[in-house]
Structure 1
């Protein structure tokens, strides 16, 4: 009985952890690291998408509030308006 309970717990944790992660670019994951002691609640990073024929630079901003899902914003260097994903 106890073994069955542990199997259910492990399965539940695997499902939750796999569903809680995502990437902006699913083909090529980009991992960004901040300075030690920096705040995670608001982060800005420069990102470059390179294809065979062109490259596009943009800034990514992550804004997180206490009780809401994080919102991603993207803007290019030429367009000052943010686009929410």
Structure 2
């Protein structure tokens, strides 16, 4: 006998049904987004401006900051827009 269960449907529920929770979600993620932008921009600026930081380790850190900016700028604005215009 086989007790295999399979999922045949995927249900995506809303984050919050009330407008106040949607606004809280928006402002929370906006704060996270701005903090990530500022932090990564500071890292990129420090590495590019200071010539003592032009070593392989800081080159790797610079690339990680750029990748983080790209990934967070793809996901968080879409999540914030979805929370306001559901």
Higher strand share: 1
Higher relative contact order (CA 8 A, sep 6+): 2
The structure with the largest alpha-carbon Rg is 2
Report the structure, 1 or 2, having the larger helix content.
2
Regarding TM over 0.5, the answer is no
TM normalised by structure 1 equals 0.31
What TM-score comes out, normalization by structure 2 length? 0.31
